[in-house]
Chains A and B, each alone.
Chain A
Amino acid sequence: MIDVKVADWVGTVQVADFAGLSRYDAAFAWELRDTVVALADDSEVKVIVLRTDGGDFAPDVPGAPLPSDRSATWRRVFAGAKGLYQSLAFCKKVVVTEVTGACRGAGSALVLCSDLTVAAEESSFGSPFLAVPESNFVLAALTMRLNRAKAWAVTGDVLDAARAEEVGLVNQVVPGASLRAETDALAARVTAMPLDGVTMSKMLLQAVLDAHGVGRDFDLATHYAARRRHAENAGGGAL
């Protein structure tokens, strides 16, 4: 279930967790995508906050199904230009992720697509690249720097919150008890910018991201998914 509230220029999207994206739950992903797009088009919204009820942001999903590179649904909902991840990365409004607990797989892909991230001290971030082919490596390289992004992708290391802040993956690390208040305060700060300014700033950023190849990397999701399918079929496990 997706709960949506709009108040004081902030659209808040709250779910139990985002693990459904790692399970390739197309109905959940499409509803989330539609919610984000509707808030992006809402003239009463400058900021979109993605948060959970308070548990893990996106717990690990053992035995998660493979995305099918041959599936029209997967391309439309997850990998395509109008799918969830690109709707977030190229959103017209500022997207804030509020992370508590485990952030794995698709959760980390969401963090990479969002503009700002506030994390609880006990949160941790798994690399999305082995399990989620829609993950955007160019965004990771721009966010963490190339060497760190490569290490994260290749080793699959889990970054604790302090390390995630150190490498630039999250903006703030705060005690769990004040996470919600700190996220709300950050969102409120963003709302000081004029509505026109928010949208035009996002357009400027989109032009720069395009020039850096972010869109092209999203286009490669089908290729990454096919590679993973071949590896699994060959019994090689992960890529």
Chain B
Amino acid sequence: MTTDGGAVELALDHERHQAVIRIRREEHGNRLTRAMARQFVAHLDAIDADDDIKVAVIEGTGAHLSSGWDPREAWEQYVEAPGGAVKKHPSQRARLVALSDEWWGPNGLYRRLLHCRKVTIAKAVGDCYETGLYLTLCSDLAVAHENARFAVPRWRNVGVDGDLSLLIATVGLKRTKELMYAGTAWDAGTASRYGLVDGVSAAPDEEVGRLAEMCASIMRDGIVTEKYAVFASLAKMGVDHAFAAATVVGASLSNIHFQPGEYNFLADRRRHGTAAALERSRRDLG
């Protein structure tokens, strides 16, 4: 499993009732590995179990919140899942298990963040691609730096393999489709206008700090009660259904056949390396 020294750290401030979950893999644009996603989930478990913590801030070190998940694990994650190494190509069940366990399922990163019992605030800085976009989407509040950009470049390479229900509820159907099909990247102002983030700031640390202080002043019962009301609404909105559908379609998309002339990221990566393939695949984001 790839780690490259990347880590997700947890800092607790019981006196101020605040936690910080910090993605630390600056030299790789804070791209998340599976090991880091598991660390992230473990920190959410710790925060949920800590009665003195009311608010969790999600941030990255350096210039970006997160520019995606680590493409070097794109294939490895299936091979290492149960049933993944039985034959030359990972089985369909291995692909489903990998996508569910790490990302979309009950203990996957996104569902776990969405169902955190405490208030979560994302600080969206720089590239908020793929993982970075969904960390923003699954948080309760989001403040964007003026330089933030939101996109899912991978969708242009393979097809749409992420949640749509939450995205549609947040920004609307046609804007979701723009992100799905057109390889669009939204700047911070557009993200704010569409409702993906709650505000844009040249100094997001200050604004996130202000929101965290405010939320930490709310009584514990009030926070958890409101969060469970949100969970009930999410269930009614079919978000769990959409996450499950994303798992199924994501597993199928890992098996697609490319037409002549179509761009194949994994093939490009094999020939030219990860950095070159990433650069090429993201070059013409709109």
List residues of A whose CB falls within 8 A of some B CB: 94, 115-117, 139, 142-145, 168-171, 186, 189-190, 192-198, 200-201, 203-205, 207-208, 211-212
Of chain B, the residue at the smallest CB distance from A145 is B172
List residues of B whose CB falls within 8 A of some A CB: 155-161, 164-165, 168, 171-175, 177-178, 180-183, 194, 238, 241-242, 245-246, 249, 252-253, 256-259, 262-263, 286
Of chain A, the residue at the smallest CB distance from B169 is A142
| A168 near B253: Cβ-Cβ < 8 Å | no
Of chain A, the residue at the smallest CB distance from B253 is A200
Q: Write out the residue numbers on chain A whose beta carbons fall within 8 Å of the beta carbon of B180.
A: 201, 205
Q: How far is the CB of A115 from chain B (nearest CB, A)?
A: 5
Between A and B, 29 residue pairs with Cβ closer than 8 Å are A115-B174, A116-B178, A142-B172, A142-B173, A143-B174, A170-B174, A189-B286, A190-B181, A192-B156, A193-B156, A193-B181, A194-B159, A194-B256, A194-B258, A196-B159, A196-B257, A197-B253, A197-B256, A200-B159, A200-B249, A200-B253, A201-B181, A204-B160, A204-B245, A204-B246, A207-B242, A208-B241, A211-B242, A212-B238
| A208 near B156: Cβ-Cβ < 8 Å | no
A interface majority secondary structure:
helix
| A211 near B172: Cβ-Cβ < 8 Å | no
Q: Write out the residue numbers on chain B whose beta carbons fall within 8 Å of the beta carbon of A203.
A: 249
B interface majority secondary structure:
helix
Bound-state Cα–Cα, A229 to B155, Å: 46
| B256 near A116: Cβ-Cβ < 8 Å | no
| A207 near B245: Cβ-Cβ < 8 Å | yes
Name the one of A145, A189, A200 contacting B182, with C-beta atoms under 8 angstroms: A189
| B238 near A211: Cβ-Cβ < 8 Å | yes
> If the complex has contacts A116-B174, A189-B182, A208-B238, are A201 and B168 also in contact, measured as CB distance less than 8 A?
no
| B262 near A194: Cβ-Cβ < 8 Å | yes
| B174 near A168: Cβ-Cβ < 8 Å | yes
| A200 near B238: Cβ-Cβ < 8 Å | no
| A192 near B263: Cβ-Cβ < 8 Å | yes
Bound-state Cα–Cα, A71 to B263, Å: 48
| B165 near A193: Cβ-Cβ < 8 Å | no
Bound-state Cα–Cα, A94 to B263, Å: 19
> If the complex has contacts A115-B174, A204-B246, are A198 and B182 also in contact, measured as CB distance less than 8 A?
no
Q: How far is the CB of B47 from chain A (nearest CB, A)?
A: 30
Q: Write out the residue numbers on chain A whose beta carbons fall within 8 Å of the beta carbon of B160.
A: 197, 200-201, 204-205
Q: Write out the residue numbers on chain A whose beta carbons fall within 8 Å of the beta carbon of B177.
A: 94, 115-116, 171, 205
Q: Write out the residue numbers on chain B whose beta carbons fall within 8 Å of the beta carbon of A170.
A: 174
Apart from the given pairs A116-B181, A189-B181, 9 other A-B contacts in the complex at a CB distance below 8 Å: A115-B181, A192-B183, A192-B263, A200-B160, A200-B252, A201-B159, A201-B249, A204-B249, A205-B160
Q: How far is the CB of A95 from chain B (nearest CB, A)?
A: 10
Of chain B, the residue at the smallest CB distance from A47 is B181
Bound-state Cα–Cα, A94 to B160, Å: 13
Bound-state Cα–Cα, A94 to B182, Å: 10
